[in-house]
Amino acid sequence: MATPYLRNRHSLVSVLRSRVAPRPSSFPHHRPASRRAASTSTSSSPSSSPPLVSRARLFLFGTSIGATVYLAYYYATDTRASLHRWAVPPLIRFLFPDAEDAHHAGTEALKTLYNVNLHPRERPSSVDVTQPLTVTVFGTDLQNPIGISAGLDKNADIPDPLFALGAGVVEVGGCTPFPQDGNPKPRVFRVPTLDGMINRYGLNSRGADAMAARLRDRLRKIALGLGLTEQDIKEGNTNGIPPGSLHPGKLLLVQIAKNKTTNEKDVNAVIKDYVYCVNRLAPYADVLVVNVSSPNTPGLRDLQATEPLTRLLGAVVDEARRTDRKQKPKVMVKVSPDEDDDTQMEGVVQAVWESGVDGVIVGNTTKRRNVVPQGLVLGNKEQLALQEEGGYSGPALFEQTLNLVGRYRKMLDAYSLHAGEGVAQKVLFATGGITNGEQALKVLNAGASVAMVYTGLVYGGSGTITRIKSEMRQQIAEKKALTKAA
- Asked if residues 323 and 284 have their Cβ atoms less than 8 Å apart, the reply is no
Nearest CA-CA partner of 476 in 132, 141, 169:
132
Helix ranges, 304-387 (H): 306-320, 342-355, 380-386
Pairing state between β 251-256 and 287-291: parallel
The dihedral built from the CA positions of residue 281, 285, 289 and 295, taken in this order, carries a sign that is: negative
Instruction: Show contacts of 375-383: CB within 8 Å, 24+ apart.
Output: 376/193, 376/194, 378/191, 378/193, 378/194, 379/193, 382/190, 382/191, 382/192, 382/193, 382/194
Q: One-letter amino acid identity for 147?
A: G
Q: How far is C-alpha 312 from the chain's CA centre?
A: 31
Nearest CA-CA partner of 171 in 190, 155, 189:
155
Nearest CA-CA partner of 251 in 152, 148, 142:
142
C-alpha to C-alpha distance for 205 and 179, rounded to whole angstroms: 5
C-alpha to C-alpha distance for 114 and 462, rounded to whole angstroms: 13
Q: How many CB atoms lie within 10 A of CB 328?
A: 15
Nearest CA-CA partner of 442 in 481, 479, 482:
479
C-alpha to C-alpha distance for 441 and 138, rounded to whole angstroms: 20
Q: One-letter amino acid identity for 475?
A: Q
Helix axis angle for 208-225 and 267-281, nearest 10°, is 20
C-alpha to C-alpha distance for 170 and 160, rounded to whole angstroms: 9
- Asked if residues 73 and 119 have their Cβ atoms less than 8 Å apart, the reply is no
Per the DSSP assignment, residues forming a β-bridge with 360 are 333, 428
DSSP 28: G
Q: Residues with catalytic annotation? A: 294
